[in-house]
């Protein structure tokens, strides 16, 4: 790539050069994306027949190529218009945001003067209030010469940075092409995974990869995707993990690969939640309250340059740079997303409704590769991203102290809620659609709340603000409500809950996959592939690979205990046989074991009986609501020289994502199929799964349950030298249709 080809959008150019002063993020509700689109449409429909909309403009400065679309141009008035939607008090808009808007308008004005050879031009900022539908026009008359001078000034500031970025990109790609796998050999299965990843990028398609635990999936996916970055001209790699441990594995893998690259050739950034990055959580995000927000944009350039000298900007290193330059760590990280090559973060940064990485990729036209670690979690996580819940108890509490301007709309929602409650015939009822009157009441309340919050941003009660967030999300999901979700109302402890419950997140996720050059989802449990393909909305040309295991049946003794039933009705009869089975195995081969059960109650029953009958064997238990310290203490019991049994709940904190190699764990007892509880919600999910895919029971109960079993069993064998034993305790494990869902290398498949 040559510098002559360096392209930058007008917005990106202005954001880099024109922002000054404080970071000011006092909460002011902004219009949704759809409201913004509708607002632009409303403004342009009011213009004359000769009004030009979405005017494509481009220009050059030295080797820079600047591109963008002006919102509108009125040839009769010779007026360029930059349209911005808002809600609330326009005078309360932070000055740095207004400066950015003027910068964009003036750059578009210069490009327009060049295109039409104009000597002067009216430059207008049109602010459109989405609630009142009123326009406010701020107009200045500019000469082409003055606009050119402004444009040249911004471009000159950006040009030096652009030269640096092009040099970095050339050095990065050259180094990545020469980079070799950091170990003498690939592990068994690891090369197969890496080749599939690279081929998916080469074909510009998505990939579902089932790869066994312990083959080194993290480095086996990052290495080929980095090679693809150089060969296929990817701008960024997003490595998305379900848990903190997954992020750390990715950072560790990058550090290993980094050793053979020149310093800062590859730039890596870890994204963490704002709550974890904030230095002054008790302060508001503006210069009058937080010292790291005051003058943020004035100090940002130096902080940005310093950050680029740190190859791996994990949470601590980025914080160190931020504090040294007295800027907010979280918002420094959001800035560095634009200038780093590998971004490591949680799923939500790319997949949820307000995903930052997705928005940046679209706005900047990035060519991206997306890696999704432990992707078996994606179904439940994506469902949660596109679900929302409202509490009647919360509404009643808000009504008691609400300002008078909100009373009418709050009362209207309350009345509609009561009407729905009157029709309840049980504790759980599903409606085919969101009732129209309820929907209208929520829409009105949302609008009134938005106006109130915008006008009272500095003094708003946190509980009311939280309620506004909940109502806003609920309204957004009403707009997209379809057969991918259900609307239900339930009662619990005197409260009633309204819920839009997403069941099939496919339609929401499809645009995310389409926006990537390639997306690779990998996990030890992605079988059957059609379950994940269907629910996640994978593209039609998605590739599927089942990576060969580096392990063999001689390493892992898998025992099906078919004479015991762990069904709820049989649990009392199962306690003694399970205890005897565990004690016998332990006495024959003392060491560290994990025992998994379907619930805390069941686990406690077995653990108590075990301790009563075999008090000499050490036992420790998972407890409800364990914090991080308690979880670490639980895991600390597993050492190379310790012996005992840890009791845990299947699907909980210890069923996946923990690494206990060698003697730290030599066996597991799994006394459940892991099937989700049969309850009204899951039965509704089953009906919807049947409507969509004709496999209601399998998609709702069987596949998610077996996934948990395989994940838990995967804790035992972590390396090619490990040996261990697994007991699958339930008669249903002997069924051929169940065994076909278990890993082939276990040697059980019927």
> pLDDT value at position 530?
94
CA dihedral of residues 256, 257, 260, 266 (deg, nearest 10): -120
Tens-digit pLDDT profile for residues 2-12: 444 788 999 99
**167 within domain boundaries:** no
* 494, 517, 548 - which closes a domain: 548
The residues, any chain, with a CB within 8 Å of residue 61's CB and separated by 6 or more, are 151, 152, 155, 156, 159
C-alpha gyration radius of the chain: 29
> pLDDT value at position 188?
82
Residue pair 120/159 in contact by the 8 Å Cβ criterion: no
What phi and psi, each to the nearest 5 degrees, are found at residue 625? 65, 35
Give the pair of three-digit tokens for residue 203: 């074909």
What CATH number does the domain containing 345 carry?
3.40.50.300
Q: How does DSSP classify residue 700? A: I
> pLDDT value at position 176?
96
- pLDDT exceeds cutoff 60 at 27: no
Tens-digit pLDDT profile for residues 679-693: 999 999 999 999 999
Tens-digit pLDDT profile for residues 132-150: 899 999 999 999 999 999 9
**175 within domain boundaries:** no
Q: Do 401 and 380 have their domain in common?
A: no
Tens-digit pLDDT profile for residues 168-192: 999 999 999 999 999 999 988 899 9
Q: Do 207 and 350 have their domain in common?
A: yes
**Lowest model confidence (mean pLDDT) among 54-63, 90-99, 107-116, 534-543:** 90-99
The residue among 676, 737, 745 whose CA lies nearest residue 716 is 745
Positive or negative: CA dihedral 552, 557, 561, 565? negative
> pLDDT value at position 457?
61
Q: Do 529 and 442 have their domain in common?
A: no
**179 within domain boundaries:** no
Q: Do 196 and 121 have their domain in common?
A: no
pTM here is: 0.92
Give the pair of three-digit tokens for residue 406: 């909100």
Q: Do 287 and 345 have their domain in common?
A: no
* 532, 548, 564 - which closes a domain: 548
Tens-digit pLDDT profile for residues 288-303: 889 999 999 999 999 9
**Lowest model confidence (mean pLDDT) among 55-59, 460-464, 637-641:** 460-464
Type and span of the H or E element at 297: helix 296-307
The residue among 471, 472, 457, 500 whose CA lies nearest residue 394 is 471
- pLDDT exceeds cutoff 80 at 30: no
- pLDDT exceeds cutoff 80 at 415: yes
> pLDDT value at position 26?
65
Q: How does DSSP classify residue 702? A: I
Q: Do 335 and 347 have their domain in common?
A: no
- pLDDT exceeds cutoff 90 at 31: no
Average pLDDT over all residues of the chain: 93
> pLDDT value at position 605?
98
Q: What is the mean pLDDT of residues 495-517?
A: 97
What CATH number does the domain containing 126 carry?
3.90.320.10
The residues, any chain, with a CB within 8 Å of residue 562's CB and separated by 6 or more, are 730, 731, 733, 734
**Lowest model confidence (mean pLDDT) among 338-342, 641-645, 659-663:** 659-663
Tens-digit pLDDT profile for residues 42-99: 999 999 999 999 999 999 999 899 999 999 999 999 999 999 998 878 887 877 889 9
| Measured distance CA(678)–CA(590) in Å, rounded | 37
Structurally, the chain folds into a number of domains equal to: 5
**712 within domain boundaries:** yes
Tens-digit pLDDT profile for residues 355-391: 999 999 998 889 999 999 999 999 999 999 999 999 9
> pLDDT value at position 705?
96
Q: Do 259 and 360 have their domain in common?
A: yes
Residue 465's domain comprises 392-502
- pLDDT exceeds cutoff 50 at 567: yes
> pLDDT value at position 451?
81
Q: What is the mean pLDDT of residues 416-445?
A: 92
* 159, 174, 198 - which closes a domain: 159
Q: Do 484 and 525 have their domain in common?
A: no
| Measured distance CA(528)–CA(740) in Å, rounded | 10
Q: Do 17 and 109 have their domain in common?
A: yes
**641 within domain boundaries:** yes
Length of the chain as a residue count:
750
Q: Do 321 and 361 have their domain in common?
A: no
| Measured distance CA(260)–CA(265) in Å, rounded | 10
Q: Do 477 and 334 have their domain in common?
A: no
Beta pairing, strands 236-241 & 120-129: unpaired
Residue pair 453/92 in contact by the 8 Å Cβ criterion: no
| Measured distance CA(647)–CA(603) in Å, rounded | 7
- Percent of the chain scoring above 90 in pLDDT: 82
Q: Pick the residue with more confidence: 88 or 331?
A: 331
**Contacts for 526-531 with beta carbons within 8 Å, 24 or more apart?**
526/208, 526/209, 526/210, 526/375, 526/376, 527/210, 527/741, 528/703, 528/741, 529/208, 529/210, 531/698, 531/699, 531/703
> pLDDT value at position 263?
85
Which residues is 237 bridged to in the sheet?
342, 369
CB contact burial 733-747 (16+ within 10 A = b; e otherwise):
beeeebbebbbebbe
pLDDT band (50, 70, 90) for residue 29: low
Q: Do 136 and 250 have their domain in common?
A: no
The residues, any chain, with a CB within 8 Å of residue 627's CB and separated by 6 or more, are none
* Helix/strand/coil for 72: strand
**172 within domain boundaries:** no
Type and span of the H or E element at 235: none
> pLDDT value at position 720?
81
């Amino acid at each position: 790539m040559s510098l002559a080809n360096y392209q930058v959008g007008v917005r990106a150019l202005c954001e880099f050069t024109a922002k000054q002063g404080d970071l000011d993020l006092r909460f002011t509700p902004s219009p949704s994306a759809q409201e913004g689109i509708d607002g632009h449409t409303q403004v342009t429909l009011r213009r004359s027949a000769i009004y030009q909309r979405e005017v494509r403009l481009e220009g050059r400065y030295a080797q820079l190529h600047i591109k963008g679309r002006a919102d509108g141009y009125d040839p009769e008035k010779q007026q360029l218009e930059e349209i911005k939607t808002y809600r609330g008090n326009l005078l309360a808009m932070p000055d740095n945001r207004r400066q950015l808007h003027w910068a964009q308008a003036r750059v578009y004005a210069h490009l327009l003067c060049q295109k039409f050879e104009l000597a002067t031009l009216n430059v207008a900022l049109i602010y459109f209030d989405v609630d009142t539908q009123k326009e406010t026009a701020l107009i200045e008359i500019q000469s082409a010469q003055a606009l050119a001078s402004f444009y040249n000034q911004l471009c000159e500031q950006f040009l030096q940075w652009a030269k640096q970025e092009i040099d970095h990109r050339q050095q990065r790609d050259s180094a990545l092409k020469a980079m070799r796998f950091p170990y003498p050999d690939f592990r068994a299965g690891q090369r197969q995974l890496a080749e599939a990843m690279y081929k998916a990028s080469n074909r510009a398609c998505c990939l579902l990869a089932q790869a066994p635990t312990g083959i080194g999936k993290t480095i086996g996916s990052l290495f080929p995707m980095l090679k693809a970055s150089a060969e296929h001209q990817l701008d960024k790699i997003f490595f998305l993990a379900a848990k903190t441990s997954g992020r750390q594995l990715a950072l560790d893998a990058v550090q290993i690969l980094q050793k053979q690259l020149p310093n800062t050739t590859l730039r890596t950034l870890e994204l963490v939640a704002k709550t974890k990055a904030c230095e002054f959580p008790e302060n508001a995000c503006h210069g009058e309250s937080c010292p790291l927000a005051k003058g943020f944009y004035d100090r940002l350039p130096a902080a940005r340059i310093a950050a680029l000298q740190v190859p791996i900007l994990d949470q601590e290193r980025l914080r160190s740079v931020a504090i040294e330059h007295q800027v907010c760590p979280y918002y420094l990280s959001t800035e560095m997303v634009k200038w780093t090559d590998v971004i490591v973060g949680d799923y939500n940064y790319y997949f949820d409704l307000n995903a930052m990485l997705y928005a940046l990729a679209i706005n900047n036209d990035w060519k991206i590769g997306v890696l999704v670690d432990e992707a078996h979690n994606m179904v439940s996580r994506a469902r949660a991203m596109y679900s929302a819940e409202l509490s009647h108890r919360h509404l009643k509490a808000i009504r008691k102290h609400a300002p008078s301007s909100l009373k009418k709309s709050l009362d209207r929602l309350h009345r509609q809620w009561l009407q729905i409650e009157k029709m309840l015939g049980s504790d759980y009822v599903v409606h085919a659609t969101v009732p129209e009157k309820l929907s209208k009441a929520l829409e009105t309340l949302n609008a009134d709340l938005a106006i109130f919050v915008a006008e009272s941003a500095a003094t708003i009660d946190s509980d009311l603000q939280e309620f506004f967030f909940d109502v806003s999300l609920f309204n957004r999901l009403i707009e997209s409500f379809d057969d991918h979700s259900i609307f239900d109302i339930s009662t619990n402890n005197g409260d009633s809950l309204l819920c839009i419950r997403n069941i099939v997140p496919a339609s929401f996720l499809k645009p995310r996959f389409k926006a990537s050059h390639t997306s690779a989802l990998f996990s030890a449990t992605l079988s059957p592939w059609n379950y994940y393909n269907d629910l996640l909305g994978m593209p039609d040309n998605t590739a599927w690979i089942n990576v060969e295991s580096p392990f063999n049946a001689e390493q892992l003794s898998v025992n099906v205990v078919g004479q015991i039933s762990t069904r709820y009705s049989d649990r009392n009869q199962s306690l003694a046989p399970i205890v005897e089975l565990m004690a016998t195995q332990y006495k024959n081969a003392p060491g560290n074991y994990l025992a998994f059960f379907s619930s805390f109650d069941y686990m406690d029953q077995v653990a108590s009986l075990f301790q009563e009958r075999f008090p000499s064997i050490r036992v420790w238990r998972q407890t409800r609501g364990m914090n991080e310290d308690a979880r670490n203490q639980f895991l600390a019991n597993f050492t190379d020289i310790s012996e005992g049994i840890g009791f845990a709940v299947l699907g909980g904190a210890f069923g996946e994502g923990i690494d206990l190699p060698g003697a730290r764990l030599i066996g597991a007892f799994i006394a459940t199929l892991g099937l989700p509880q049969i309850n009204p919600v899951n039965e509704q999910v089953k009906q919807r799964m049947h409507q969509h895919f004709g496999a209601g029971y399998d998609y709702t109960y069987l596949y998610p349950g077996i996934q948990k079993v395989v994940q838990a069993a995967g804790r035992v064998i972590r390396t090619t030298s490990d040996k261990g034993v697994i007991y699958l305790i339930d008669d249903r494990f002997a069924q051929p249709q169940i065994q076909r869902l278990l890993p082939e290398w276990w040697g059980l498949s019927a």
